[in-house]
Amino acid sequence: MKAFTYQRADSVTQAATAATKPGAKIIAGGTNLLDLMKLQVETPSQLIDINRLPLDKIEETPEGGLRIGTMVRNSDLAADPRVRQRYGVLSRALLAGASAQLRNKATTGGNLLQRTRCYYFYDVTKPCNKRSPGSGCAALAGFNRIHAILGASDHCIATHPSDMAVAMRALDAKVETVNRQGETTVIPIAKFHRLPGNTPEIETSLKPGEIITAVTLPPPPPGVQVYRKVRDRASYAFALVSVAAIVDSTRGRIRSARLAFGGLAHKPWRVEQAEQRLANASANTASFNAAANAVLEGARGFGGNDFKLPLTRRTLHSVMAETTRT
């Protein structure tokens, strides 16, 4: 690990001010940042610890939603009775991620900001445009079993590893931030994560010194909520494909469906046209296929991850069948 100075923040604006300095990084749970620092993938010269800031509450909003403080731990968010009752897809997605020890430490904001698990991003001896812009992408012609089939570029085919963010995408969550002037910005989660393009090192729309303070959830949409995660082990593994689904249907007739996918792209993947094809349709193979076609529009495998195309289709079918059963 490279040497760094350690500072505890007394306020959000103080943390934001400190974070604008080159080489400065905010540390919250630290479960991803310290992992990367040990490998010298991340080499901050200054760490600003925000663990003591009072940003760990879950509150009701006047609109009937929830406002989740950025420091709420993943385990506490998953176990919150309001989340379990009204946002089951979020609770289940959180519980699908990492291990209990990591969830006890990992935070809401940190989960959104976690970096890809691409093998070549982690290996500092290999080219990686995300870690070292301009060096190339070793995954394109390398082992790319876990990589993106949608929204990738010639510069980067990494995926975003979060389960939580996929559920938040289906729920249309909003990310609240504060900058060093104390100004609040609200970013829809659809606009929070970016596609790699030719700047894969820029992963979010956050500006330097802009700190996540909360994530707000609108009132829960009607329907059954399901999070399905397909992975190499039954537990404690990242998603190959995951689906956060919120489906409102009666007797085989779909009123509305929301489907967000994990494991497929540099950000949680949601396709409006796929949901339109399901709205007011009969729940059957034809409508599920039509939706899958829309989700996989422009999808492309890179060899090792070709299996993700049929796997996405099958997972969509399975989740739609499950959520429209009654």
Partner 1 sequence: MDEHESNSEPDAPNTFEVTRRTVIETGATALLLTTLPRAALAAGAIDDNEPLPPPVKVELQINGQPHSLTLDPRTTLLDALREHLALTGSKKGCDHGQCGACTVLIDGRRINSCLTLAAMHDGHAITTIEGLAWGDDLHPLQTAFVEHDGFQCGYCTSGQICSAVGMLAESQQGMPSYVTDDLTQPAAELTDAEIRERMSGNICRCAAYPNIVAAIKQAAGMPT
Of 148 and 168, nearer to partner 1 (C-beta) is 168
Q: Residue 68, SS3?
A: strand
Question: Whole-number minimum distance, CB 81 to partner 1, in Å?
Answer: 8
Task: Please provide the DSSP assignment of 220-234 as one string.
Answer: PPSSEEEEEEE-SSS
Strands (E) in 124-210, as ranges, are 174-178, 184-188
Q: Residue 296, SS3?
A: coil
Of 92 and 160, nearer to partner 1 (C-beta) is 92
Question: Whole-number minimum distance, CB 30 to partner 1, in Å?
Answer: 6
Q: Residue 323, SS3?
A: helix
Of 2 and 57, nearer to partner 1 (C-beta) is 2
Question: Is residue 248 packed enough to be buried (19+ CB in 10 Å), middle (13-18) or exposed (0-12)?
Answer: middle
Interface positions with partner 1 (CB under 8 A): 1-6, 27, 30-31, 34-35, 38, 47, 49, 51, 75, 78-79, 81, 84-85, 88, 91-92, 95-96, 98-102, 104-105, 234-236
Rg of the Cα atoms in the chain? 20
Of 40 and 184, nearer to partner 1 (C-beta) is 40
Question: Is residue 128 packed enough to be buried (19+ CB in 10 Å), middle (13-18) or exposed (0-12)?
Answer: buried
Question: Whole-number minimum distance, CB 316 to partner 1, in Å?
Answer: 21
Question: Whole-number minimum distance, CB 169 to partner 1, in Å?
Answer: 19
Of 96 and 140, nearer to partner 1 (C-beta) is 96
Residue 101 and residue 256 in contact, taking contact as beta carbons nearer than 8 Å: no
Of 3 and 141, nearer to partner 1 (C-beta) is 3
Rounded to 10°, the helix 308-323/285-295 angle is 140
